[in-house]
Structure 1
Amino acid sequence: MKIALLGYGKMGRMIEQIALGRKHEIVLKIDHDNLYDLTLANLQQADVAIEFSTPHTVLGNIKLCMDAGIPVVVGATGWYEKIPEVKNACLEQNAAIIYASNFSVGVNIFFHINKMLAQVMNRFPDYEVQVEEIHHTQKLDAPSGTAITIAEGIIENIPVKEAWVNVLTTDDKDDNDQIKPNQLLIESLRIESVPGTHTVIYGSEVDTIEFKHTAHNRSGFALGAVLAAEWVKDRKGFFTASDLFNFNA
C-alpha cells in the first residue's frame, strides 16, 4: 500500500516506521518545509493518506484528499465543530474518511468500556464523575481530543451530565467550584514528556473508583493509524474508529 503522510512531526515519523515495518511504501511526506509538494498529482500517487497535521491545516488537507480521490485517515484534532459539513461533503463526493481522536487499540478499548461503566454508574447518583487528562507541555489543545471522546461517552450514558467543561491546572483553581451539577469536568494537566494519561474518576463520600489509561509512548497511536489506513483503503463513506474496531460485533 502506498501512503501519503500529511504532517511529518514526531507522530508522522512514528507512523512511517510502523508502515514500513508492515511492508507499506511512503510516497509523500508533507511538513511545513515542503507544503508546495502537497498537490493533487502528488496525492494521487498514494492509495491512502494519513493526516496528522494541525487544526489550522487539517480541513484543507481533507478537502484536497477528497478532490484527489484517495481515502484519508484523520488523526489531527481541533476541527470537530466542522464534522457535519465534512461528512456531507464526503458522502456527496463518494469519498472515504475515517477519523478518531485517538487510533490506539488500547484507547479504543478504553472508550468502549468507559461507556459500559457509565451505564452502570448511572444507577448510583451518589457518585460524582469527572475526567482528568495529562499530556506533555507541547500539546497545543486542551482538553485533548481523547478526553473529549471519553466525556462524550459518559454524557451519552449519564443523562444528568449535559455538557463538559474544561479547567487547566494553570487556571484559577476556584473555577472547579463553579462546575454545575449538569456539567462534566475535564481537568487538564500539562507535564513535560507525558505521552498521555486519561482517568475517569467516580467519587462518593465512602470511596473512589478510578478507570485509567496510560500511554507509554506514541507507537500505539501510530499503529492504530496504519491499521485504519489498511481498513479504509478500499471503502467509501464517513467512518470513525468505532467502525474500524467494531467491539459490538
Structure 2
Amino acid sequence: MRILLIGYGKMGKIIEQIAVAKGHEVVGKISHTNSEELQQYTSGNTDVAIEFTHPTSAFANISYCLSQGIPVVSGSTGWLEKFDEATQLCEQHKGAFFYASNFSVGVNLFFHFNAYIASKMQEYKEYEVAIREIHHLQKVDKPSGTGITTAEGILASYKDLSGWVSDNPEEKAKLNIASEREPDVVGTHIVTYSSDIDTIELGHTAHSRAGFAEGAVMAAAWLQGRQGVYGMKDMLNL
C-alpha cells in the first residue's frame, strides 16, 4: 500500500516503522509544520491515509481525503461532534472511512466485554458504575475517546442514566468519567462497579503504543476495496 501519514508525532512515527516493516510505502508525512503539502496527495498517488492529529484539524483532514477519493483511517479524538458530517461526506463521495477511538485489538475486546458486563450489571441496582481513564500529560482531550466509547457501551444498557459527565461524580443521573494525566502513561481504562459489600472491576492497560499502530495499519489494509463507514467491530467481527 501507498500510505499517507497525516500526523507525524509519536503515533505517526510508530505507524511508519510498522508499515515499512510490513512492506508498505509511506508516500508522505504531514504535520503542523507542512500541512499545506496535504493538497498534493490524491487517489492517484495514495492508496490510503492514516490520520492521527489534533481535534481542531482532524475533520478538515478527513474531509480532504474523502473529497479526493482517498480511503482514510482516523484515530483522532475530540472532534466527534462532526462525525455525522464525515459520514455524509463519505456517502457523497462514495468513499471509505474507518474510525476508531482506539485501534488496539485488546482494547476492542475490552469494549466488547464491557458492553456485555454492563448488560448484566444493570439488573443489580446496588452497584454504582463509574469509569476512570489515565493518560500521559500530553493528552489534550478529556475524557479520552476510549473513555467515551467505554461509556457508550455502558449507557446502551443503563437506560436510567441520561449520558456521561466528565469529572463530576456528584451528578448521579449521569455516568462519571474521571480523567487523570500522569507522566509516561500510555493508556489505562478501568470500569468499576461498587456496592457497600464489594467491588467489581474490568480494566485494560496498554504497555506501549505499538498495539494501536498495528491496529491502524491492519485497518488501512482491510479498508482497501471497501466503500462506507467502518470501525473495529466490523474488522474484528465483534
TM-score of the superposition, structure 2-length normalised?
Answer: 0.97
In structure 1, the residue matched to 2:232 is: 241
Three-state SS of the structure 1 residue aligned to 2:193 is strand
Rounded to whole Å, the distance in 2 between the matches of 1:185 and 1:41 is 42
Note if contact 2:130-2:176 (Cα within 8 Å) is conserved in structure 1.
Answer: yes
Note if contact 2:134-2:179 (Cα within 8 Å) is conserved in structure 1.
Answer: yes
Unaligned residue ranges in structure 2 (runs of 5+): none
Note if contact 1:151-1:184 (Cα within 8 Å) is conserved in structure 2.
Answer: yes
| Shift in Å, 1:91 | 0.7
Note if contact 1:71-1:95 (Cα within 8 Å) is conserved in structure 2.
Answer: yes
In structure 2, the residue matched to 1:72 is: 72
In the alignment, residue 35 of structure 2 is paired with which amino acid? L
Are residue 187 (structure 1) and residue 184 (structure 2) matched? no
Three-state SS of the structure 2 residue aligned to 1:185 is strand
Three-state SS of the structure 1 residue aligned to 2:103 is coil
Identity of aligned residues (%): 50
In structure 2, the residue matched to 1:220 is: 211
| Shift in Å, 1:213 | 0.1
In the alignment, residue 179 of structure 1 is paired with which amino acid? E
Rounded to whole Å, the distance in 2 between the matches of 1:15 and 1:109 is 21
In structure 2, the residue matched to 1:29 is: 29
Note if contact 2:42-2:70 (Cα within 8 Å) is conserved in structure 1.
Answer: no
Note if contact 2:42-2:69 (Cα within 8 Å) is conserved in structure 1.
Answer: no
Unaligned residue ranges in structure 1 (runs of 5+): 168-174
Rounded to whole Å, the distance in 2 between the matches of 1:6 and 1:212 is 30
Rounded to whole Å, the distance in 1 between the matches of 2:75 and 2:236 is 16
Rounded to whole Å, the distance in 2 between the matches of 1:54 and 1:45 is 25
Tell me the alpha carbon deviations over residues 17-42 of structure 1, each in whole angstroms, 9 at most, x when there is no partner: 11111111100110112122111446
Three-state SS of the structure 2 residue aligned to 1:139 is coil
Rounded to whole Å, the distance in 2 between the matches of 1:19 and 1:73 is 14
In the alignment, residue 171 of structure 2 is paired with which amino acid? I
Rounded to whole Å, the distance in 2 between the matches of 1:41 and 1:139 is 29
